[in-house]
Amino acid sequence: MTNRIRLPKTNLDVSPICLGGNVFGWSADKEQSFAVLDAFVAAGGNFIDTADVYSEWADGHVGGESETIIGEWMTARGNRSEIIIATKVAKLSTRPGLSRDNIMAAVEDSLRRLHTYYIDLYYAHEDDQNNDLAETLGAFDTLVKAGKVRSIGASNYSGARLLQAAEVSKAHGFAQYAVLQNLYNLVEREPYESDAAPAVAELGISGVPFYGVAVGFLTGKYQPGADIASVRAEGAKRYFRDENWATLAKVTELAGELGVSNAAVALAWLRAQPTIGVPIASARTVEQLAELMQFVELTPQQLSIFN
């Protein structure tokens, strides 16, 4: 998998899958994380997603654990110039929100942990309506002009707010959100399809959805009545409904016909959607990563079974 995709309205050429870094320093320790990152690059990957808040939720963690591991890995491998790094600001309890002051402080924290002087793609991790969009976008624009950030994106924004942000950027001559990272997968298609997708299409930007394999549900490791020991099992249980089991059965059948993993089919479906650039999926082990990296393109007929 050596092909690259240019994300519209950026100069970022990325691999067809973005590796989610939420597990690094959480369910994957440093050694496991390095192994997954090495395998990802060896398989042709170059796009890695993280956030300052990963993994503050774990006992004894303060946030920034994922960024720190990624930074140490890039330093050890000497490959910073070959990697596209996306990280985020707004959700860390010690660096909350999207005020100018907070963005300016948070970016320095992230740069230090990542052992780099620039971030390729910097996201607003959520829509902070307590701060004016002009203040937030003005801060991001300052970072772009300073060379500390190459492109900016929004995460967990509604379509309406994304369009409003674009108008603010245009009116002030600020950098514009070029990527939307929202929840979207085969078993959770709303509200993305009805709300965000039309705005993404109108703006001509890319959707880079998270939970591409639905917290592992679409990999097939969860089955009705089976008890799985996993830190993410509780999150996957929200998908345990009859209609989703039916979708999973279709994914499993098609994967069997194509001789690929369930994850490969789920991610191929996402890539085929008109507003999607690259899906995000995470892997705790090299074995899990191998399933994600089985690149396949689905025909219109194959895609139609999920309509």
DSSP letter (8 states) at residue 218: G
How many whole angstroms separate alpha carbon 286 and alpha carbon 278? 20
Tokens 């170059």 locate to: 46
Contact 21, 282 (CB under 8 A): yes
| pLDDT tens per residue, range 205-253 | 999 999 999 999 999 988 876 665 565 567 788 999 999 999 999 999 9
**Does residue 54 have an active-site annotation?**
yes
Q: Are 75 and 46 in contact (CB under 8 A)?
A: no
Six-digit token string for 99: 């005020």
Catalytic residue among 54, 122, 157, 222: 54
**Whether residue 198 has a cis bond before it, omega within 30° of 0:** no
Total domains in the chain come to 1
Q: What is the pLDDT of residue 236?
A: 83
CA 35 to chain CA mean position, Å: 20
d(CA 159, CA 209): 14
- Summarised one tens digit per residue, pLDDT across range 123-177 is 999 999 999 999 999 999 999 999 999 999 999 999 999 999 999 999 999 999 9
The pTM assigned to this predicted structure is 0.95
- CATH number of the domain that 233 lies in? 3.20.20.100
How high is the pLDDT of residue 214? 95
215, 266 contact by CB (below 8 A):
no
- Domain containing residue 238: 5-304
Mean pLDDT of 65-87: 98
For residue 199, give both structure tokens: 């705005």
CA distance linking residue 17 with residue 5, whole number of Å: 10
Q: At what angle do helices 159-172 and 133-145 cross, to 10 degrees?
A: 60
